[in-house]
C-alpha cells in the first residue's frame, strides 16, 4: 500500500490518539518557543497531516499553507480549519519527492514526523530552501535513531529515525545556515511487552 493510501485511511482517526496529540502538541510548543510567530508571517507546514502541529497557531500568523500527499489528511485539515473559523489557511496536494515546485514564498516552513517517510532528503530540502524568503526559517521535528522499533507498520518508512549530526549536515548541504539540532520531546509507547521511550529532535536552519 502506498503512503498516500495509508494516510488517507488514517486521516479520520488521526486526531483520536491521545499520545500522538500530546506528542505533537509538545513539538509544536517547543517549535514556536524557538521561532516566535507574528501576524506578518506566511507559514508552510510540509506533510501537514490533519494540522495537529500548525492549525493551533494559525490565528497568530498572516497565512498558513498545508501541503501533503494524502487527500484524506488535507480534507480533515480543511474541515478543522473551517470549524475553527480560520480564513487564512489553505491546502495543496503536493509531492516534493516528485520534484513539484512549492507555490509561494514563506517566512517559516515547519514539518513534524514527515522526513522518515522521505527516501531522499536532499531534493526535498532543496525545494524547501527555495520556497523560503531571504532569512526565512526551517524547523523540522523527527525521530532520533529508533532501531526500527517506533513503527509497527513499517510500510513507507525509509529511515529508522535520524542521526542528528547527519541530519544537520543534510540541511547544510541543501544550503541552510545557522543549523541547530536540539531536543523537542519524547514519546513513550508499548513495543512488544515493554514500554519504550523515543526521543524527537528539532532541527532548525535559516536561508
Q: Footprint of ligand SAM on this chain (CB under 6 A)?
A: 3, 7, 24, 47-49, 52-53, 68-70, 73, 95-97, 112-114, 117-118
- Return d(Cα 104, Cα 155) in angstroms, integer: 32
Spatial contact of 7 and 33, defined as CB atoms under 8 Å apart:
no
The most distant pair of C-alpha atoms in the chain lies apart, rounded to whole Å, by 49
Which of 62, 116 has the CB closer to ligand SAM?
116
Which of 2, 40 has the CB closer to ligand SAM?
2
Q: Which residue in the block uniquely carries the three cell numbers 509497527?
A: 152
Closest CB to ligand SAM: residue number: 49
Neighbours of 117 (CB within 10 A): 19
Which runs of consecutive H residues, i.e. helices, occur in 11-60? 18-34
Minimum distance between the CB of residue 83 and ligand SAM, rounded to whole angstroms?
17
Which of 71, 88 has the CB closer to ligand SAM?
71
101's grid cell: 515546485
Minimum distance between the CB of residue 104 and ligand SAM, rounded to whole angstroms?
16
Which of 80, 164 has the CB closer to ligand SAM?
80
CA 108 to chain centre: 12
Minimum distance between the CB of residue 78 and ligand SAM, rounded to whole angstroms?
13
Q: Which residue in the block uniquely carries the three cell numbers 494516510?
A: 7
Minimum distance between the CB of residue 37 and ligand SAM, rounded to whole angstroms?
17
Minimum distance between the CB of residue 107 and ligand SAM, rounded to whole angstroms?
19
- Return d(Cα 99, Cα 167) in angstroms, integer: 20
Which of 95, 183 has the CB closer to ligand SAM?
95
Q: Side by side, which strands form the sheet with 132-143?
A: 89-93, 63-68, 42-46, 106-112, 132-143, 194-206, 177-191
| Cα distances (Å, whole numbers) of residue 95 to 66, 71, 172 | 12, 11, 22
Minimum distance between the CB of residue 72 and ligand SAM, rounded to whole angstroms?
8
Which of 18, 193 has the CB closer to ligand SAM?
18
Amino acid at each position: 500500500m502506498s503512503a498516500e493510501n495509508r494516510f488517507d485511511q488514517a486521516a479520520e482517526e488521526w486526531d483520536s490518539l491521545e499520545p500522538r496529540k500530546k506528542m505533537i502538541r509538545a513539538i509544536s510548543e517547543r517549535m514556536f518557543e524557538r521561532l516566535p510567530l507574528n501576524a506578518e508571517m506566511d507559514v508552510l507546514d510540509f506533510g501537514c497531516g490533519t494540522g495537529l502541529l500548525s492549525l493551533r497557531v494559525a490565528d497568530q500568523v498572516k497565512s498558513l499553507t498545508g501541503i501533503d500527499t494524502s487527500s484524506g489528511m488535507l480534507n480533515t485539515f480543511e474541515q478543522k480549519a473551517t470549524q475553527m473559523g480560520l480564513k487564512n489557511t489553505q491546502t495543496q496536494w503536493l509531492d516534493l519527492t516528485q520534484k513539484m515546485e512549492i507555490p509561494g514564498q514563506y517566512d517559516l516552513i515547519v514539518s513534524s514526523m514527515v522526513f522518515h517517510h522521505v527516501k531522499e532528503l536532499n531534493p526535498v530540502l532543496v525545494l524547501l530552501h527555495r520556497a523560503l524568503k531571504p532569512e526565512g526559517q526551517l524547523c523540522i521535528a523527527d525521530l532520533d535513531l529508533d532501531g526500527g522499533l517506533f513503527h509497527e507498520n513499517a510500510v513507507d518508512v525509509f529511515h529508522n529515525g535520524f542521526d542528528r549530526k547527519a541530519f544537520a549536515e543534510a540541511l547544510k548541504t541543501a544550503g541552510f545556515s545557522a543549523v541547530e539540532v536540539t531536543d523537542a520531546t519524547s514519546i513513550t509507547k508499548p513495543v512488544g511487552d515493554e514500554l519504550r521511550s523515543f526521543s524527537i529532535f528539532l532541527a532548525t536552519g535559516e536561508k
